[in-house]
């Protein structure tokens, strides 16, 4: 994994940042304000790919939970979801239906069987294109659920920089609480770390006060070392979250990639005293997968990351399978998929 760094080489966090948002090994951590680009740190990154892949395989093989413990993990997964619709045929009505599902992700009858009505389970955010930000805000009014807008020429991220920055500003002005931005993957391939840093820093400036989730497009980055380096640069530039994928690449979120990214998050927290969230997105469709990811987060980063402020699933098809598993726990029977529509 990424090499250790001497404390003398780390750069102190900005004193002006707000309150503690997480902790690592008992050490309180502040929100990420970014640090100057440290090219020595980036160049020294090493990743043992075979070791990471073995660790990811063992994660799946040795972690299993059943009965009420499984149900509890699945309820936590729902509260960490960015329920998403990013299709070319999206409509206002589809977004409103998705928002209604986000407010009440579990059918009332199933909530009663589980005895969880008082928990008021809901998803963390609804993720949409800019066009539907206002629709989602109205539909979610008073719910506490955030609206996230994909931006910066999503999913390719290849439109002119000025246009990408203006796209962010328009979504923030429209009221989006979170912005999911896409990096220029070519900067990673060419080792143009200053260009990548400057790009993400410009996005961060345009995002304020919205939280910025930086999509690395890990399926396009070819190597785990590239993933680690891109993660570090994005965090140095001020990312609030780093995110695996757009969901549009041939390969999206995988556990080896997740291990690399979470360990870089841990190293960054140790060196700077600042916490960065993590969002796997794309290809996570089963309840079992969601538990695998949550277990990995707990083991690599600790319990303070197991909440919506620090961890998200980018999900469109995941919720239906979780509902079916919860119904099996409550009744002993699996329901048909069509009984759990999203939008």
Which candidate, 31, 29, 6, places its Cα nearest to that of 235? 31
Known catalytic residue at 321: no
- Asked, for residue 156, whether it belongs to a domain, the answer is yes
Active-site residue, selected from the candidate residues 220, 240, 243, 292 = 243
Q: What is the DSSP letter of 2?
A: P
- Asked, for residue 12, whether it belongs to a domain, the answer is no
Helix axis angle for 287-301 and 49-62, nearest 10°, is 120
pLDDT at 183: 98
Calpha distance 137→207 (Å, rounded): 17
pLDDT at 262: 98
- Asked, for residue 196, whether it belongs to a domain, the answer is yes
Q: How many domains does the chain have?
A: 1
- Asked, for residue 16, whether it belongs to a domain, the answer is no
pLDDT at 12: 33
3-state secondary structure (DSSP) of residue 188: helix
Burial 99-108 (b: 16+ CB within 10 A, else e): bebbbebbee
Cα–chain center distance at 116 = 26
pLDDT tens digits, one per residue of 216-255: 999 999 999 999 999 999 999 999 999 999 988 888 999 9
Active-site residue, selected from the candidate residues 122, 204, 213, 279 = 279
Strand pairing of 241-243 and 125-128?
Answer: unpaired
- Asked, for residue 4, whether it belongs to a domain, the answer is no
Active-site residue, selected from the candidate residues 180, 240, 292, 321 = 180
Calpha distance 309→49 (Å, rounded): 29
- Asked, for residue 305, whether it belongs to a domain, the answer is yes
211-215, strands of its sheet edge to edge: 277-279, 241-243, 211-215, 178-182, 146-150, 125-128, 81-84, 313-315
pTM of the model: 0.92
- Residue 74 makes CB contacts below 8 A (sequence gap 6+) with 287, 290, 291, 322, 325, 326
CB distance 120 to 130 below 8 Å: no
pLDDT at 249: 87
Known catalytic residue at 180: yes
- For residue 320, the domain's CATH number is 3.20.20.70
- Provide the residue range defining the domain that includes 260: 37-332
- Asked, for residue 14, whether it belongs to a domain, the answer is no
Stretches in the chain below the pLDDT threshold 50: 1-17
- Asked, for residue 31, whether it belongs to a domain, the answer is no
pLDDT at 63: 66
CA dihedral 315, 223, 31, 27 (to 10 degrees): 110
pLDDT at 4: 35
Known catalytic residue at 279: yes
């Amino acid at each position: 994994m990424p090499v250790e760094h001497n404390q003398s080489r780390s750069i102190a966090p900005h004193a002006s940042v707000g309150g503690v948002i997480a902790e690592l090994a008992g050490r309180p951590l502040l929100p990420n304000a970014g640090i100057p680009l440290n090219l020595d740190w980036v160049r020294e990154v090493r990743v043992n790919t075979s070791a990471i892949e073995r660790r990811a395989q063992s994660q799946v093989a040795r972690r299993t939970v059943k009965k009420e413990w499984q149900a509890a993990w699945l309820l936590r997964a729902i509260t960490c979801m960015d329920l998403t619709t990013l299709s070319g045929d999206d409509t206002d009505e589809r977004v409103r239906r998705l928002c209604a599902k986000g407010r009440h992700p579990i059918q009332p009858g199933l909530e009663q069987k589980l005895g969880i009505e008082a928990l008021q389970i809901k998803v963390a955010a609804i993720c949409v294109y800019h066009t539907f930000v206002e629709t989602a805000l109205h539909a979610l009014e008073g719910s506490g659920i955030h609206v996230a807008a994909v931006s910066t020429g999503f999913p390719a991220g290849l439109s002119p920089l000025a246009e990408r920055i203006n796209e962010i500003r328009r979504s923030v002005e429209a009221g989006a609480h979170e912005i999911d931005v896409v990096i220029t993957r070519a900067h990673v391939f060419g080792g143009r770390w200053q260009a990548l840093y400057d790009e993400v820093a410009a996005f961060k400036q345009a995002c304020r006060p919205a939280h910025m989730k930086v999509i690395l497009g890990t399926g396009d980055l070819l190597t785990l070392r590239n993933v680690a380096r891109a993660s570090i640069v994005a965090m140095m530039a001020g990312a609030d979250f780093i995110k695996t994928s757009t969901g549009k690449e041939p390969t999206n979120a995988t556990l080896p990639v997740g291990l690399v990214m979470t360990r870089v998050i841990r190293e960054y927290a140790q060196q700077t005293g600042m916490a960065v969230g993590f969002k796997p997105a794309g290809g996570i469709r089963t309840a079992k997968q969601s538990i695998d990811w949550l277990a990995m987060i707990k083991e690599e980063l600790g319990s303070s990351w197991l909440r919506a402020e620090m961890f998200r699933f980018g999900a469109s098809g995941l919720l239906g399978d979780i509902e079916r598993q919860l119904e099996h726990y409550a009744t002993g029977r699996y329901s048909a998929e069509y009984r759990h529509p999203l939008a």
